[in-house]
Structure 1
Amino acid sequence: MERHESEPLLIISYDWPPMVAGVRRWVKFAHYLPEFDYRPLVVCARPTRFGAHDEEPLHGEVSGVSALMTSSYDPYHAAQQFSRLMGRRGKSAVGASVGADDVEAVSGFRSFARRAARQCLNFCLFPDDRVGWVGPATRAAAKLIERHHIRKIVTTSYPHSAHLVGLRLKRKFPDLYWLADFRDGWVQNPYFRNAPTPLHRYLHRRLEAKVVIKADAVVTVCEPIARHLSAVACNSKPVHVISNGYDSRDYASPVGAPFDKLTLVYTGTLFMQRSPDEFFRALSDVVRTVNRVEDRLQVIFMSKFLPEHYESVHRYGLDNIVRVEPMGSHRAALELQRRADGLLAIEGRAAGAEIMLTQKIFEYMAARRPVLAIAPEGALADAVRASGCGVVVAPEDYEGLCEALRLLLAADGSFPFELNEAYIAQFDRQFLTRRLARLLDMNDLYDYRKEK
């Protein structure tokens, strides 16, 4: 379809810069879409202080994108309002580190409090704890659709509540073209096992199926999720895979000075099965067998460490090797990756772990540093092997993990790896956006509305 001017595209995403979690995929799409004659407009929730912020807004890439930030009746916005009413400033999730001396006193209580709060929210709020955003987002989106004569929208999850906005808008505007983007699995997600009752699990499955069937197009990030969603729709429509990726512009500047020590780096979140505990245990054993390794090795985590992570570092005697930096800007994370001698990816074995394909693995590929991936068979392991960017060790293969660490130390950071440049090139953000634009143009998408 040929257009003489840019067509407005409405993107409905709960998170948007300056928030960090989950925004990079659509920030990059929004940056490149104008090259393909689309003008992105965004409806998102107002940022809160209860989450990581990137004050550089991903290199200013969203400065030219119109974003309408709405209110939301969810626990995070409510907590911020309560904090203001009490005359206290809400504290960012990228807060001060917890020292080892404080761990024993607070870790047990905090872990219990987190679990109790999470269970309560899982029981009361469906499909997730951002469902209070659906009403404000739908009203704001409907006004933009009417004002700008928008014909195409995108909803992106997580949270899954974003797709409820799509369902409501599709009901109000039947001719609207709706693309539902699943950045994460829904009922496949390891967190799905935390659904409090069989009724909750049943309703999740029903709602997932409704979204997949009602949407005009469905996109996700990896083949395991695509196969599941296609089966949910009884194979009545294709589910397209447009993976996450990297932006080659982020790697144009010179690499900073190397570290004085052999440096292994992890960037990103740690949660549930994505725990560094087994890595710390193996590292501790290897350190004891290698002469004077503490003088020449450091492991940097740019992440939000929980009290149990600090406790694990202390328990295995790694206080002089493991260094924790708070979650910084995207630019700082990329710079740290490029300066490293080796990069670490962690994905534990759990129900649904085969679908987990962390965004950072594509940035690791672009950094062209060897990767040690602790991961079960699945999307992450497949990507590391296909790209040739490093080695994969199964989470339960403790001896294999120790051997990989010895190899890292013996080779001064160089695993035997050979990059598959052709494979890596397909994950460039500009190329991925071109594929997205083709879907929006319906050039390679069957028009299901003809059959409705």
Structure 2
Amino acid sequence: MEKVLIITYYWPPAGGPGVQRWLKFVKYLKAYNVEPIVYIPENPEYPLIDESLQDEIPEGISILKKKIFEPYQLAQVFSKKDTSNISSGIIPETKKQTTLQKLFLYIRGNFFIPDARKFWIKPSVKYLSKYISENDIKTVITTGPPHSLHLIGLKIKSNLPITWIADFRDPWTQIGYHKKLKLSSASKRKHLNFEHKVLNTADTIITTSYTTKAEFREKTSKPITVITNGYDETLIKEVVPDANFTLAHIGSLLSGRNPYNLWEVLSQLISENELFAKKFKLKLVGAVSKEVLETINSFGLQNNLEVVAYVTHQEALKIQRQSQVLLLIEIDSIETRGIIPGKIFEYLAAKRPILAIGPEQWDVIRILEHTNSGKYYSYQDTQQLKSQILTYFNLYQDKELRSSSKNIEEYSRKMLTGKLANLIKNI
């Protein structure tokens, strides 16, 4: 059985989508004759905690740990909330940032390159180089963000004759929030230089989206494979759909994920349709930025709004299956066209209609069309969006609202792990 060392920052009890990608790969790799060995920080500072995910760690997996110095722990002395938000990627619009927030962002962007986990690089390289040599490991995988983990792979690759796979769950310099980090010209060059070295030193690169692959293709001639996130065939007890006409969004709603056209349309439907006003519920599960809540309230939706704090992964799966329509919202930006939120695959498994609002030429459109699982609208669409929501509502009233999806099996975690295992064995 071929051994592979996986270097990841996010691991149970961390919560959120970042941890689930490699937790699920590790779960299924042995079935493809690949033995995963996982390397994680011993004392990480996770913005989200989900203890239930620890139950999904396969028995007998070797897990290596090394202490990490976390600057975010020091920053919490000044503001725990701001530190947690920035760590999670929830960054207020520039004009609404406090002086402290601006200072945190400047320090984060210019003193911690590529990110605040940079202090884990040196001790990890020393520890892992010895471990790799002593345990006959031929393949190393790094997954980011945090992209400092790719620098661990970069240094190990320069020291040892290994095969290195760099997995990008998100882009690096082209990710949406990168522009908000108040980077100096010198800091921008450092990021670009690190990105260039990683992309051109790794033996092969994995991305989670087609747009990111195309963007990286302009920067490297190394092989690039798209392996999206996916859904696990988790057994969920049969659930009864909500009695209300629930439009639910599960996951973080950052400041930029604020579709004014959706809030406007919902406000109009409430005003024009008495039954809609009575039955409609907007359910937001997870971290929601202050700006998004203020916008929703400005459209008079507060009486139809339900905000639920972060829930366990199992509870999130249950809510997805209960909801009448599932909302998928992304920032309206060129930089976010390649962001495929992990939740879309669990939405597919929930088999509820998906209503997606995001940038034009968004990679999500390709998946929705391939699976016939929902509808996409841009931030500029209003009347078409309104008509679709009303169509969904009428189907709900007739008890006919359901998904007619197809081709979703290829996004199962087990199928995707087979694709990864094949890549590992054929580099």
Q: Deviations over 1:253-306 (max 9, x none)?
A: 332222221212111112242235543233122211111323212121111122
Task: Confirm whether residue 305 of structure 1 aligns to residue 277 of structure 2.
Answer: no
Please give the TM-score of this superposition, normalised by the length of structure 2: 0.89
Q: Which of 231, 242, 245 lines up with 2:230 in the alignment?
A: 245
Q: What code does the residue aligned with 2:5 have?
A: L
Contact 1:264 1:299 in 2 (8 A): yes
**Where do 1:112-123 residues align within 5 Å?**
113-123=100-110
* CA shift digits 1:387-441 (9 cap, x unpaired): 111111111223333222222222228668632x23x221111111111111111
Aligned partners of 2:105 and 2:180 also within 8 Å: no
- 2:362 is matched with which residue? 378
Q: C-alpha root-mean-square deviation of aligned residues, in Å?
A: 2.7
1:85-234 equivalence runs, <5 A:
113-173=100-160, 175-194=161-180, 196-233=183-220
The one-letter code matched in structure 2 to 1:258 is: P
Give unmatched runs, 5+ long, in structure 2. 86-94
Aligned to 1:430: 414
Pair 1:7-2:2 in alignment: yes
Give the superposition deviation at 1:147. 3.6
Q: Distance in 2 between matches of 1:283 and 1:191?
A: 28
1:348-393 CA deviation, whole Å, 9 max, x = no partner? Answer: 2113121111111111111111000002222112211221111111
Partners of 2:2 and 2:74 lie apart in 1 by 36
Change in 2 beyond 3 A, CA 1:213/1:30: same
TM-score, length-normalised on structure 1? 0.84
Residue of structure 1 in register with 2:32 after alignment:
36
Distance in structure 1 (CA, Å) of the matches to 2:383 and 2:80: 47
The amino acid that maps onto 1:158 is P
For residue 56 of structure 1, give the secondary structure of its aligned residue in structure 2: helix
Number of matched pairs: 414
Cα distance in 1 between the residues matched to 2:84 and 2:313: 16
**Aligned with residue 307 of structure 2, among 324, 331, 334:** 324
C-alpha distance in structure 2 between counterparts of 1:55 and 1:92, whole Å:
22
Distance in 1 separating the partners of 2:300 and 2:307: 15
> Counterpart of 1:412 in 2: which secondary structure?
helix
Q: Secondary structure at the match of 1:426?
A: helix
Question: How far apart in 1 are the matches of 2:376 and 2:98?
Answer: 30
Whole-angstrom CA distance in 2 between matches of 1:71 and 1:288: 56
Deviation per CA, 1:154-189, whole angstroms, max 9, x where unpaired? 00011111100001111121x111111111111221
What is the identity, as a one-letter code, of the residue corresponding to 2:136? Answer: H
Residue ranges of structure 1 left out of the alignment (5+ in a row): 1-5, 95-107, 446-452
Q: 1:390 to 1:19 in 2, by over 3 A?
A: same
Q: Residue by residue, what CA displacement relative to the aligned partner does 1:35-63 show, whole Å, maximum 9, x if unpaired?
A: 11222121122455651111112642355
Q: Aligned AA for 2:225?
A: H
8 Å CA contact 1:43, 1:137 repeated in 2: no
Distance 2:40 2:51 in 1: 17
Measure the CA separation in 2 of the matches of 1:129 and 1:91. 15
1:115, distance to aligned residue in structure 2 (A)? 3.7
Q: Percent identity at matched positions?
A: 28
Alpha carbons of structure 1 residues 15 and 416: separation in structure 2 relative to 1, 3 Å? closer
- Counterparts in 2 of 1:303 and 1:258: CA distance versus 1, 3 Å: same
SS at match of 2:307: strand
**Does structure 2 conserve the Cα–Cα contact (< 8 Å) formed by 1:59 and 1:331?**
no
| Cα separation, 2, equivalents of 1:232 and 1:327 | 37
Deviations 1:184-240 (A, max 9, x none): 11122122323513333333222212111111111111211112222211xx33211
Of residues 307-316 and 21-30 in structure 1, the stretch that sits farther from structure 2 once superposed is 307-316
CA offset digits 1:287-338 (Å, max 9, x no partner): 1111132321212111112222332333222222111111111111111101
Matched, 1:395 2:379: yes
